[in-house]
Amino acid sequence: MKHILKIIWNQKRNYYWIFMEQVLVTIILMLSAVSVLESYKKYKTPGMLNVENTFVVGYLSGNSATQEEMGNSLKSMNILLENMKKLPYVKTITRGFNLAPYQRDNELYASQVPSDSIRIDDKRFMAIYKFSDEFGASVLNVEMEEGTWFENRALPDGSLPVVITRQFASKAGWTTSVGKKIPFGSRFFTVTGVAAGLKQVPFEPSPIAIVIPSFAMGGMPFENMVKIETGMEREFIEAFSKEFQRLIPYESMEPFLNYMPSLKSMWTSQSVLSVILQGIPTLFLFIFAFIGTFGLYWMMSQKRMKEYALRIALGSTKSKLIGIVIGESLLITCMAILPALALSLFIYEYNAVHVIAVSITIFVMLLFAIVSAWYPAWKVSRVNPAEALQYE
Amino acid sequence: MIKIENITKIFRTKEVETTALDRINLQVAQGEFVSIMGPSGCGKSTLLNIMGLLDQPTEGALLINDTAVSGMKDKQLAHFRNQTLGFIFQSFHLIPALNVFDNVELPMLYGKNISTKEQRQRVLEVLEKVELSHRLKHFPTQLSGGQCQRVAIARALVSKPEVILADEPTGNLDSKMGIEILELLLTLNKEGTTIVMVTHDERIAQQTHRIVRLLDGKIQ
């Protein structure tokens, strides 16, 4: 290695551009790897809600809707949902607000939905408010880490039963949360359960959230989720549309009926597409860098054929010649990795994702070094010393 | 020391078959200084390449120190070249990316495990012998032709070979430098090194123990 380092150092001008190219490729590869793994990590965070065979239903009122129409529509919606419950393939209906996932991303949630500052002991943090009835957990198959979901009524002591997310409990610094009191104006919330999470979108972690019984909303809940039997989607859509036309015949009222697995796929596809779009330029850069590196090592090995032939004459074996060519490539790449490593120490806090991503980057770059020099190295090992050393 | 028995070398292309060496028999005794002469294309360099294990004969046998070298594998040949033979070329063939010290040290990197201290010691000894100790850190591009050839001789000597094979060592030098190089080789030969030298120069050849003349691949 010392010998190869001497050769590289003494010919550093020849290796300058290849070194710079590899520094750039390593940095970009590292950034891409971190981005992809972070997305994957967010996907795997707990709190993915089960929306199989579930619709979110309701209606949208247009600008021309009168107060009377809006009032009647609200009452008619209640009747409509009661009628839907009677259908044999409708399993459960839950009514609330902000609990249904895949309607909006975390950023939009933060700007549009109710949230408030929570104060617990000396800690103060923001939490998103969600509302649900007693059926919310079963419709969405919420994973409960502690305690249970609530009944949709006040507790005997007058406090409101709530479910919090694990993220809320961690922020509050609680190891056990069931029974804990959270002050809310003149009242208290009492924690009955802790959910592993309530993710709004697949590739974002669960927010810090608190789920409150919908009876405490101070208005009619208007986000309705309906879980049906498998394979009955078409029947449900037809039945709902028919009932809507019958009960809410106003032109200013539009039904909405979203099949939640489709919404989930849409969000997933968007995120996957974003990752792919990030990956494509990286892949192209990688390919061009490979072509450049291969070409340069090829050219250099041809130029140095007499040197390699001389080494044979002095006692080198063919495998040692291969070792020199690949060794030079590996050493250049190792040196090119160093700036990327230094940069990563500045920009990353170094959790497991960063360690894995940087390790993958290093592995890929070392493989790149070997593969791009392999063929030139093999050609060098085929040198005929008698021919190459002939005086011209 | 070196025994060549019925060596034939035929170069074959798609259209032409050329017999470079035709049933050559030659022996070089230990401590001998032999010149090989002949017109261009008579097979001198081919013979030297075969003796240096850089090329394989089409037929025949080569023995060096009673060791049959045909049939040796790549690793064995490499080891044999490193320990037994030293090469001096007309074009010097110094590695431009290495300085004088590193060029001379090169054969020892492929040799037996020698300590760094001993390697350094040997390099300095041979450079002293060729009177180039003051040029350790210089690169080949900073040396004259004669100095380059002396570095090449130092490189050939550093592994203490038994045989030196020199292919036109003075071919690229002026007469004054050529004489210096020849004197150096004569000194080495007096110290016991067997030398086989290809040359065009009759005056130089006359100073060696024996001249072997080749014509059309045959010894005259």
pLDDT at A392: 61
Count other Cβ atoms within 10 Å, centred on residue A239: 18
With a cut of 80, say whether residue A268 has pLDDT above it: yes
Question: Is pLDDT of A89 > 70?
Answer: yes
> Is B33 a residue whose pLDDT tops 90?
yes
Q: Which of A3, A7, A317 sits opposite B78 (nearest CB)?
A: A317
Q: Which range has the worst mean pLDDT, A121-125, A166-170, A205-209, A378-382? A: A121-125
At residue A108 the predicted structure's pLDDT band, cuts being 50, 70 and 90, is low
Residues of chain A positioned with their CB less than 8 A from the CB of B58? none
Look at A11 and B97 and tell me if their CB atoms are within 8 Å: yes
**Contact partners, residue B97, CB within 8 Å, separation at least 6:** A6, A7, A10, A11
* CA gap B5, B20 in Å, rounded: 15
- For chain B, which residues make up each domain, given as ranges? 31-55+72-219
Calculate mean pLDDT across residues B52-60.
Answer: 91
Contact A386 B49 (CB under 8 A): yes
What is the Rg, in whole angstroms, of the alpha carbon atoms belonging to chain A?
A: 32
Question: Two tokens at A278?
Answer: 């990030």
Cβ neighbourhood burial of A178 (10 Å; 0-12, 13-18, 19+): middle
pLDDT for the residue numbered A111: 66
Quote the pLDDT of residue B172: 84
Q: Is pLDDT above 90 for A390?
A: no
Report the b/e string of B191-210 with b at 16+ CB within 10 A.
Answer: eebbbbbbbebeebbeebee
What percentage of chain B exceeds 90 in pLDDT?
59
What pLDDT score does A120 carry?
82
On the question of pLDDT at A110 being above 70, the answer is no
Domain ranges of chain A: 2-44+267-388, 54-261
- CB-side neighbour CA atoms (13 Å) of A234: 1
Each residue of A229-246: pLDDT tens digit? 999 999 999 999 999 999
| CA distance to partner chain B, nearest, from residue A307 (Å) | 6
On the question of pLDDT at A107 being above 80, the answer is no
Task: Grade residue A221 by pLDDT with cuts at 50, 70 and 90.
Answer: low
Chosen CATH of B31-55+72-219 out of 3.40.920.10, 3.40.50.720, 3.40.50.300, 3.30.160.60: 3.40.50.300
Interface of A with B (CB under 8 A): 3, 6-7, 10-11, 306-307, 310-318, 320, 384-386, 389-392
Interface predicted TM-score of the whole assembly (ipTM), two decimals: 0.93
What's the rounded mean pLDDT across residues B12-24?
87
- Distance from the B188 Cα atom to the nearest Cα atom in chain A, whole angstroms: 19
Is pLDDT above 90 for A14? Answer: no
Task: Kindly tell me if the per-residue pLDDT of A109 is higher than 70.
Answer: no
The predicted structure's pLDDT at residue A225? 95
Is B162 within 8 Å of B84 (Cβ atoms)? yes
CA–chain centroid gap for A67, Å, is: 43
CA distance linking residue A338 with residue A358, whole number of Å: 11
Distance of CA B49 to the CA centre of its chain: 9
User: How does pLDDT run across B161-192, given as a tens digit for each residue?
Assistant: 999 999 999 888 888 888 888 999 999 999 99
> Mean pLDDT over residues A40-52, rounded?
92
Helix, strand or coil for residue B125? helix
Cα dihedral B212, B213, B215, B218 sign: negative
Q: What angle do CA A140, A141, A147 make, to 5 degrees?
A: 120
By the 8 A CB rule, do A353 and A41 touch?
yes
Report pLDDT for A369: 93
DSSP string, B20-32: EEEEEEEEE-TT-
Retrieve residue A385's tokens: 């010393």
Range with the lowest mean pLDDT among A28-32, A81-85, A142-146, A270-274?
Answer: A270-274
pLDDT value at A74 more than 70? yes
Residues whose CB is less than 8 angstroms from the CB of residue B146 and which lie 6 or more positions away in sequence, other chains included: B173, B177, B180, B181
Contacting residues for A109 by C-beta, under 8 A, at least 6 apart: A98, A128, A200, A207
Please indicate whether residue B62 or residue B71 has the higher confidence score (pLDDT).
B62
Count of C-beta atoms within a 10 Å radius of residue B67: 11
Q: List, for residues B88-145, the tens digit of each pLDDT value.
A: 999 999 999 999 999 999 999 998 778 889 999 999 999 998 999 999 999 999 999 8
Nearest Cβ partner of A10 from B98, B107, B110? B98
For residue B206, the SS3 value is: helix
